[in-house]
Structure formats: structure tokens, C-alpha cells
Structure 1
Amino acid sequence: MGISARELAAVPGKRGRRDPVAILAAQDVARLADLVPVRHERMSATPFTFYRGAAAVMAADLASTPNSGIITQLCGDAHLSNFGLFLSPERQMVFDLNDFDETHPGPFEWDVKRLAASMVVAAQGNGADNESARRMARRAARAYRRTMITSAAKSALECWYDHIDTDEVLAEVGGRLDTAASERIRKLLEKSRHRNSDQALSKLCVIDRTGVHIKSDPPLLIPGTQVFPNAGPEELQAQFQKRFAAYRKTLSPYLRTLIDQYELIEVARKVVGVGSVGTRCWIALFAGRDNMDPLFLQMKEAVESVLAPYVDSPEWANQGHRVVHGQQLMQASSDVLLGWMRAPAFTSDMDGTALTLAGKTDFYIRQLRDGKGSAVIEGMPDDQLARYGELCGKVLAQAHARTDARVPIADCVDRLGKKFDRAIADWSLDYARINLKDHARLVGAIAAGSLSSAPLES
């Protein structure tokens, strides 16, 4: 018979539910100690920022409730802010999922619930009442269901190439919004088209008599020579050159020809996102011919997905490879410079000692900016947020439809029909209440001093 609508709407009960603050604290253990307070500060700002950073909390909750048993590749963290615009290798602007740190096989509805609940949390944060927020979640679920049913009638190749480009975004959203909203979207598209390495150079770097250098803006951005002031610049450069040489081996031969035209100039530690704060993330500035033609790559730590403890799947030899695999499978058009590597971890990032290495850390590498841009969810008008959620639901269905699970998923949502939309909406409204209480517990733990917190800026 498959999962029922009632089972689909079931949220975790209080009894036996894991302590959300304890889950976050367990994640903190493996993170950079000086950045953990920044993570707590960002997550405590609003219920929505808490939700963004609490993927591990939600994974535990999802695993404790009934599921469809239909397994597909999941984004793993498909909330509203993890959809956005970026340039395809053909230099066309596309709208798609754009964050895959938690990608992992799992029941298809876990991604749908993560998206729909983010609709409710965001809408309530913007002042919407419960019924309006629930309606938005239902519309996102409906868009997912309809797109998935349509995909079942398509060929595998058609599903593989399905995508939403910016003209479609503007056509679908602009016609339903006021002029000011349409103009905001146009400005976002224009801004995204210029978010490349040249733009990153002007924002992240300074130029002096000795050349181009990455800015120092601690704790959010710190050049490597300041992270390790007592280590020789040559030693630091050599260590990162080894890392990028290992990354190079994961690229196709024709892309090695491309990357070989660039020389590593400088690296810096960068704080990114909300949930990722405290993981090891570096950006690297490369330059091409005549010390021009800048290229920024991001080297981001990849740890086990928050979904891994709850779903059986083949083990990955490298967690960075897992992220790249999920991104290449689910995106309509992925960054051509995606790669991965494993390297010894620096045992201390901020004490100023010479470089010492211990253990191994997995990383994935991508371009830092390649036309990337996302909508500002906070303050978005209800109608615009609802339509944006529908677009995200459609994109999520297209991503799931690139796998061989598309027919079983389509059969499931088609059988449930509108009950699927209502069940997801009911679940989202109930889970938003849980999230609100979890956020309050985090704020309380910070106030009590059991969790540290630090401002975003020094």
C-alpha cells in the first residue's frame, strides 16, 4: 500500500526525542574551537537561521518517523536558502539547488519536508499567520508532486537535461508580482551574472606594491600567513600546492589542461554559511597569464552526512567525493571544476605555531563564485515567497527525477494526490513549532553559559 497521508504527516513526539542542543554540541567537537561561538551566534539570530544550521537535528527527527521506503539521492539540506542562481559551463544563468554538503541517499520525502518546513519557518518569520504559512508549504509540495508525475512520462535523457533558466524564473515570478518585486528579481539576476572571480577579486582582495593579497577581516576571513604567523610562507604555500595537486588528479584530463594555466598566489581561511561555520574552509586565489585572469577556488571540509547514521548506503572512501557525486547527479548543470581530495589536518589553526599535521581531512573543491546568487528570504512578500517556494519544489522534483527512483516516487505522490500536499503542509506547520522551541532552547543555553556565543564581526 505504501505510506499513508497520516503517516507522512507524523512529527516526532517529545518522548525519546534527542536533545537538539546536545546534537549541535556533538557536532561542535570536531569543529574549529575559535569559530564554534560564531556558529552559535548565527544560529541563535532567528528561528530561520537556527533551522538552516540544524540539519542534524532534523535528520534525527525524520529518522524517528514513518517513511516511504523509496530511496533516492537527496540534497540532504534542501531549505529555501540552498536554492539559487549560478552560471552553467555554457555561461547561461540557471536556477537550481546549490548546496550539497549533506547529500546522501534517503527517503525522497525527507528533502520535500526540509523544503516545505523552511517555507513555514521563513513565512512566520516574515509575519505570516499559520494558515498563510501552511498554504505556502502546500503549494511547494504541490509543485513537487506535479513535476514528479510529469517526469514519469519522460525519457531518462529528458529528465537528465530538465532545468529552469532565469528567463523562466522571471516569466513565472514577474508576471504574478508587482513592479517593484519584478525589479528586485532583475537586479538579483544582474548581480548574479557579475559574481565571478573578477568580482571576488575586488571584494576579497587588496592590491599593494607587493601585489595582490587576500584581505584580512577576522574572524570571517584570515589570510593563511596570519593564521600561522610563525610558519614560513614558503612552507604554507608548499602544503597547499600539495593539496591542489591531489585535487587536480580528480579532474578529467581536459580540465587539468585548464587548471594548469593557473598559479596559486595565496590562501585564506573563510567562514561560510550558518551550519558550516566551524568546519575547515579555505579560499585560494590563483592567477593566469601575466599574473592576471584571477580564479578563486574554495576548499571546503566534507564530513559524514547528517543522514548517514539513519540510512544504509555504500561507504565513501572520501566524503568530498560523496559531495561531488551528489551535486553532479542532482544538478542540471554543475561546476566543471568540482573535485575532491584528502589531506593532513593542521592540528592548530590559531595559536601561531609552526605548521604541524595530524590525521586526515576530506575536502571538496569548487569555484568560489561563478555567478552565484540567492534570493533574500527575510522580508520577502507572501506572494513572492509562495511563488519562490513553488519554483524550489519544481527544481527539487527535477533533481530527484534524474535518478532511477523517479517512477516509484511519481507513483507514490500520484496515489496520494492532494493528500500528499496537505500531509506535507501539516507536517511543516507542526515541525515549525518544534523548531521554534528548539531555537528557544539554543538561546537559553547561550544565556545560561552552557554554550558559547560570539558576534559575527570582531
Structure 2
Amino acid sequence: MNPQPLPSPTDFSARAEYGREARRRTPRSSHAGWTPPADRFDPVALLEEQATTRVPELVPIRHARMLVSPFTFYRGAALLMAADLASTPVSGITTQICGDAHLSNFGVFGTPERRLVFDINDFDETLPGPWEWDVKRLAASFEVASRNFGASRGDRRAVNLAVVRGYREIMLTAAGSNVLDAWYDRIEAERFMASVEAERKAKRIERRQLKSTTAVIEKARTRDSMRAVAKLVEVVDGEMRIAADPPLIVPLDDLHPAGRTREDDVAQMKQLLRSYQSTLRLPRHPMEEFEYVHMARKVVGVGSVGTRAWIVLLRGRDDGDPLLLQAKQAEASVLERFLPASEFDNHGERVVNGQRLMQAASDIFLGWQRVTGFDGLERDFYLRQLHDWKGAADVDNFDVTGARFYAELCGGVLARAHARAGDRVAIAAYLGRSDRFDTAIAEFASDYADQNERDYAAFADAVASGRLEAASTV
């Protein structure tokens, strides 16, 4: 990392010089391209190693989801890319990073003030580290996705450049802004839609993309606990229960050892929820007015499949006042093999603190807990609302103009997160106003998508040969 002493936060000139010195030491052009080392790891072996800490019967579902396409494989291959990024040049300027900044980990959600914002929404791998790693993973994700919908090489390059241009321009703006303006800056739905409308009027995107984006926003506003309850909960003998849909949703009653009663579950959950409340930010919290009803294990995502994830059904005033929380297992970040370990003993706390630092606004139910499982092993979890006005772009139906607009938007959002969590002045000084860093990362993204395709082919061969098991359903 950077051998120079860190400048004082109040010395803005020294912070800028710190970034320029980093540029002299690690030129922006040094980030270009990707060539795998001769002794590069076996990608299948790393995935096999990851599976050893996961629920065995769910691992084949993870493999099935990763097998769908090179893009879904990329989503589940954060560990592989972290291992590769560890050998790439870095400026030595660190910030809190997402650790898995691919394009599907961005979306809209509701703030505590009931505003709809667009931001990063997944922090399972968050850790302090090189800001370049997030930029490279994000740019490469757009290259992989653009190949998925058949974009030409020239169009893919334009999309990749848009990612980094969006990042660089917003970082430069943040570096030159008043302190609080940089901290408060965020993209609310109205601002997001105004940008889309401006792109349409300039004929840089089509009308159908404006309609699609409007639909995502409108749908997000309906995605709350009431809608989730209508989909996931049934009434059994007059009591609300999460409906079984094995193997994707399995109620707790069907998982615990023989001899354990529902009364045991209720008593343990009440204790755990009381302990979880101590990690919430508000001294007086609405959580106090909810009681435990039921819970079930639920398969989520792609890379996360096999880690333990639960949905917890709570009741407020009555059955017409439900709340669904998600409790998701937090293991050590995939970055911790290559960076200093987290300062937090509890990985749920690591995720929550990283999210609170990087997001413009976070869920008021965001907290953490350590739980002893039926097997006697302790595991860390973080909790949040299952649905809180959440929405995401339909990446499977992108075209070039939509992808380019979305790429620039995601790059800017990532820059805002890094600007809050690290030294925006130093990073901006390193980037500069030319497109040298942009072109270097665009080249890296193209080369790394080639690597992803090679790894995907090796993965598919491992499934075909029986080395890895993939479920027949995802």
C-alpha cells in the first residue's frame, strides 16, 4: 500500500498531492489489460473450497444458477476475481469498498424518510481496500453482460468507458464540492427519472427504455412487507405461517432436530430478536412493537446460495400489520484472503458498518446477530427488511444505449459511495481530467471478460464430468 504518511483530512491541498504522487508511482495506464499468471489458481477448486462452509443440499442450486450463462457465473465468482485483482496494480489509496460491485448489485430502495433512491444494495463482501478493485469489477460486469446480449466489440467498449467516465466525473465533482454536499449527494427517483427523460429527449435512449424504467420505479413502490406477505405467507389453523416451497423455501419446523418444539423456537427467537435490537441505530425503535410469528430458510441470489438465509415473519398490532425481515449469513469477506482482516469480530457487524458508510441511506432495520445453530456452531448474520420498495434493472433485456446509460449511472453511484467512505480528494487527483484511466479500465474489462469465459467453460466442464453437482432446477 501507499508508503507515504496520510495527510490531515483538513489539508485539502496535501490530500490532492497525495493522489498525484500515487499517480506518479502507479501510472493510470498500468491498470490496462489482464494476463493470467502461469501459476494461476484452479477456478473450480476455489468454488469447491467455498462450498465446504455452505448448506450441502443447496450447493447444487448455486451451481445451477451459475451455469445459466457467463454473466450468472460472474455474479457467483467474486472470490475468483478477488484472487486475480490481488495481483493487479493499485494506487495505494484505500476506501471502504463493496467487494462485489457488479451491475446487478445496484438498484432502487426506500429510505427511512420514505424517499426512493438508487444506490448499491449488496455489501456481503465489503472491506477497506483498493478503490480500483470495485471499479474493475463493475466495468468487467458490464463487458460480460454486454456480450450476453450480443453487443459488438465497439459498443462494448463504449459501455465500459461509460462506467469509468461516470465514476471519474462524479468523483471529481465530489472532490470539489463543499464537505456536506459531497456527503449528502444521492440519486433520488425523481432525479433518476429526470436523467432518463433527458437521455430520451436527446435520442440517446429509446422511448421503450423510458417506459421500462418508469415501470421499475412504480413496481418498486409496491414491493413492501404487505406484498411480500401476500406471496410468501399462508394461514394454517388460523395462524400465519411462511408457506413451504422446498428446496427454495423451507420452514424452520421442517429443519430442526427431532424433539425440538415450536415453543423452543419462539423462546429462542424472542431472545435473539431482543439482542439484535441492541445493534439498531435508534434508541427507540419500531422493532419493539413487533412479535415473532414464524421463520423459514430461503434461497437467495446467485453467489450467496448455500449460505444460510432466513425470512422472519413478525406481527405488529395484528395480522394485518406484518413485517418480514431477512437474516442473511455473513461469512468472512472473499477479500480477506488478500487484504488485512476486518476490524470487526462479527461479520454481520462488518457488513452493516460497511453498508452504513457507503450507502446514502440505510434501512432502519439493518442490524446484526451471532447465532448458535442446531449443529452447535456459531454463525454471524445481518438483518434487514426483506422488501422495502426494492427494484432493479432488467439486465437480460438491455441494449447498447440502455447499457451505456446505466453503466454511467452505476459508475457515478459507486463514486459517491467511495467519496463518502474514503479520500475523494486524493482519488480525484489520481484520476485527473483525462480519459487515461477510463481507457485502461475498458481494456482490463474486455480482457477479464475473456478470463471469465475461460473460467465458465472450466466450470461447465466440471459439472458435465460430475466433479461438481448442479441441480436440475434453479
Q: Name the TM-score class by shorter chain.
A: over 0.9
Please list every run of at least 4 consecutive aligned residues from structure 1 whose deviation after the TM superposition is greater than 4 angstroms. none
> Structure 1 residues 50, 121: closer, same or farther in 2, change over 3 A?
same
In the other structure, the counterpart of 1:419 is 436
1:250 aligns with 2:267: no
Q: Choose the corresponding residue for 1:91, options 87, 111, 114.
A: 114
1:384 aligns with 2:412: no
Q: What SS does structure 2 have at the residue aligned with 1:34?
A: helix
Amino acid in the other structure paired with 1:38: I
1:400 aligns with 2:415: no
1:362 aligns with 2:369: no
Consecutive unaligned residues in structure 1, runs of 5 or more: 348-357
What are the residue-to-residue correspondences of 1:44-59 with 2, within 5 Å? 44-59=67-82
> Structure 1 residues 255, 46: closer, same or farther in 2, change over 3 A?
farther
1:2–1:412 contact (8 Å) kept in structure 2 = no
In the other structure, the counterpart of 1:235 is 264
What are the residue-to-residue correspondences of 1:134-213 with 2, within 5 Å? 134-174=157-197, 175-176=199-200, 177-213=205-241
Mapped to 1, the partners of 2:213 and 2:40 lie a distance apart of 41
In the other structure, the counterpart of 1:222 is 250
Q: What SS does structure 1 have at the residue aligned with 2:283?
A: helix
Mapped to 2, the partners of 1:261 and 1:131 lie a distance apart of 56
Mapped to 1, the partners of 2:451 and 2:233 lie a distance apart of 42
> Structure 1 residues 304, 313: closer, same or farther in 2, change over 3 A?
closer
Mapped to 2, the partners of 1:272 and 1:197 lie a distance apart of 17
> Structure 1 residues 314, 76: closer, same or farther in 2, change over 3 A?
closer
Q: What SS does structure 2 have at the residue aligned with 1:105?
A: strand
Q: What SS does structure 1 have at the residue aligned with 2:318?
A: helix
1:10–1:66 contact (8 Å) kept in structure 2 = no
What are the residue-to-residue correspondences of 1:225-304 with 2, within 5 Å? 225-228=253-256, 230=258, 231-256=260-285, 258-304=286-332
> Structure 1 residues 223, 407: closer, same or farther in 2, change over 3 A?
same
Amino acid in the other structure paired with 1:382: V
Which moves more between the two structures, 111-120 or 398-407? 398-407
Q: Choose the corresponding residue for 2:349, options 317, 321, 338.
A: 321
Cα deviations by residue, 1:73-131 (Å, 9 ceiling, x for unpaired):
00111100000000011101100000000001111110001110000000000011222
Percentage identity across aligned positions?
Answer: 47
Which moves more between the two structures, 141-150 or 236-245? 236-245
Amino acid in the other structure paired with 1:30: T
TM-score (norm 2): 0.91
Amino acid in the other structure paired with 1:343: V
Mapped to 1, the partners of 2:237 and 2:36 lie a distance apart of 62
Mapped to 2, the partners of 1:192 and 1:223 lie a distance apart of 27
Consecutive unaligned residues in structure 2, runs of 5 or more: 1-23
1:15 aligns with 2:38: yes
2:256–2:374 contact (8 Å) kept in structure 1 = no
TM-score (norm 1): 0.95
Mapped to 2, the partners of 1:69 and 1:11 lie a distance apart of 19
1:69 aligns with 2:92: yes
Which moves more between the two structures, 156-165 or 307-316? 307-316
Q: Choose the corresponding residue for 2:359, options 331, 345, 352.
A: 331
Q: Choose the corresponding residue for 1:109, options 98, 108, 132.
A: 132
